[in-house]
Amino acid sequence: MAAQPAYVEFDAVSKSYDGVSQVVRDLHLTVREGEFLTLLGPSGSGKTTCLMMLAGFETPSGGAIRIGGRAVDDVPPRKRDIGMVFQNYALFPHMTVGRNLAFPLQARGMEKSAVAERVQRALQLVRLQGFEDRRPGQLSGGQQQRVAIARALVFEPDLVLMDEPLGALDRRLREEMQFEIRRIQRSLGVTVVYVTHDQTEAMAMSDRVAVFNHGRIQQVAPPEVLYEEPERPFVATFIGDNNLLHGRVHSVAEDICEVAVDGQIVKAFLVAPLDVGQEVSLAIRPERVSLAPDAGLYSNEFEVRIEDTTFLGDHLRMQTVVCGSEFVIKIPNIIGHGGVLPGDTVRIGWTTTDCRALAPDLGPAD
């Protein structure tokens, strides 16, 4: 993957509508050729603005965007040769599916026979052969989605942007389409920049995910790395469940540190360099916490009182308090774990490597 050359580059890009508050700030991002990169974040985090700047519908207030090594500041959207799938598909309701697909080809002055052939190929790609004479209004949501994707691909762009394309679909269809989009992207080898606020979608589809918050990228990494090795509290909590403990660095030894949390010492793995006395957040995945019947099994062990338990089939979810903070534990549903009841006091523990001392979030004021 790393061998692929960079195709899209955001270089210190910022965007402000009113000149005061910045929607996107000092953004550096590289999308590699053939990569499926997702911009993930809550609404208002700047991910859609980034996409629109890339498509050319918004102009950056600062910095530069390069596509294929060429700065595109002065290139209007229609000349950027980027396929785009919009949130509500933006299919043209007065045209048939066939004419929707032919539209970008005709705009490029392509010959009639070539157009027809390309349209057929695109329909085949999204498995909608025989639908060319229908109007968008006569199609189901999923079918419209496929047409929108086909239209974005039919003129064979090197880069396709998708702006929350699955938001309007129900869950089952959404999963099916996630797979479908991934299949198409792989078979064509096209570069995709995908925007979503749904972290499972991002995890399922992407080669890499850029997590946005406050107009900045908090972390860019492949999904499994984001999950296993979050670098900042926002990423740790946005992707999957996580327990956060806030404390102050007590001592540092190579990549291990001791952190004082509410008067107790927790041993953690250092993600970024920290100094003694600095404030720090610790992230511990609920499923990485174990019940420890005997003391001394884990480097971090606490006696806690279980406030509440929820049975969720494959696992048990327990609510408790550790070092003064709310704390969740997920225990696999195996023999011996069912005996814990609310009100019981148990010993829990986790290893140093499962407890990550995170770098601070990149906030809005920085």
Task: Candidates 6, 75, 90, 321: give the one binding other proteins (CB under 8 A).
Answer: 90
Task: Candidates 23, 27, 72, 84: give the one binding other proteins (CB under 8 A).
Answer: 84
- Contact between 78 and other proteins (CB under 8 A)? yes
Site for other proteins (CB under 8 A): how many residues? Answer: 26
* Distance (Å, whole) CA 176 – CA 189: 20
Task: Candidates 15, 25, 151, 216: give the one binding other proteins (CB under 8 A).
Answer: 151
Task: Candidates 4, 21, 88, 333: give the one binding other proteins (CB under 8 A).
Answer: 88
If one counts every other C-beta atom within 10 angstroms of the C-beta of residue 288, the result is 16
Q: Name the minimum Å distance from CB 214 to other proteins.
A: 25
Beta carbons of 209 and 222 less than 8 angstroms apart? yes
Report which residue type is found at 221: A
- Contact between 17 and other proteins (CB under 8 A)? no
Q: Name the minimum Å distance from CB 82 to other proteins.
A: 6
* 78-86, 139-147, 226-234, 321-329 -> range binding other proteins (CB under 8 A): 78-86
- Contact between 76 and other proteins (CB under 8 A)? yes
Exposed (0-12), middle (13-18) or buried (19+): which is 130, by Cβ within 10 Å? exposed
- Contact between 340 and other proteins (CB under 8 A)? no
Q: What is the β-pairing status of strands 264-270 and 355-358?
A: parallel
Report helix angle 141-153 to 171-188, nearest 10.
20
How far from 134 is each of 50, 87, 112, CA to CA, in Å? 34, 21, 20
- Contact between 87 and other proteins (CB under 8 A)? yes
- Contact between 172 and other proteins (CB under 8 A)? no
* Distance (Å, whole) CA 235 – CA 239: 6
Quickly list DSSP for 65-83. EEETTEE-TT--GGGS-EE
102-110 contacts, C-beta under 8 A, 24 or more apart: 103/151, 104/151, 104/154, 104/155, 105/154, 105/155, 107/78, 108/155
- Contact between 137 and other proteins (CB under 8 A)? no
Q: Name the minimum Å distance from CB 21 to other proteins.
A: 18
How far from 316 is each of 50, 294, 300, 304, CA to CA, in Å? 40, 20, 21, 16
* 34-42, 74-82, 185-193, 251-259 -> range binding other proteins (CB under 8 A): 74-82
* Distance (Å, whole) CA 151 – CA 144: 10
Which candidate, 12, 37, 41, places its Cα nearest to that of 27?
12
Task: Candidates 34, 41, 63, 83: give the one binding other proteins (CB under 8 A).
Answer: 83
Quickly list DSSP for 268-299. EEESS---TT-EEEEEE-GGG-EE-SSTTSSS
* CB of 89 or CB of 269, closer to other proteins: 89
Task: Candidates 17, 21, 71, 79: give the one binding other proteins (CB under 8 A).
Answer: 79
In the range 54-73, which residues lie near other proteins by CB under 8 A? 55-57
* CB of 122 or CB of 266, closer to other proteins: 122
* CB of 70 or CB of 94, closer to other proteins: 94
Run of H or E including 40: strand 36-40
- Contact between 93 and other proteins (CB under 8 A)? yes
Q: What is the DSSP letter of 135?
A: -
In the range 108-127, which residues lie near other proteins by CB under 8 A? 108
* 49-57, 60-68, 177-185, 186-194 -> range binding other proteins (CB under 8 A): 49-57
Beta carbons of 170 and 162 less than 8 angstroms apart? no
Q: Name the minimum Å distance from CB 123 to other proteins.
A: 16
Length of the chain: 366
Q: Name the minimum Å distance from CB 166 to other proteins.
A: 16
* CB of 80 or CB of 121, closer to other proteins: 80
Q: Name the minimum Å distance from CB 15 to other proteins.
A: 17
Residues near other proteins (CB under 8 A)? 55-57, 76-84, 86-88, 90, 92-94, 103-104, 107-108, 151-152, 155
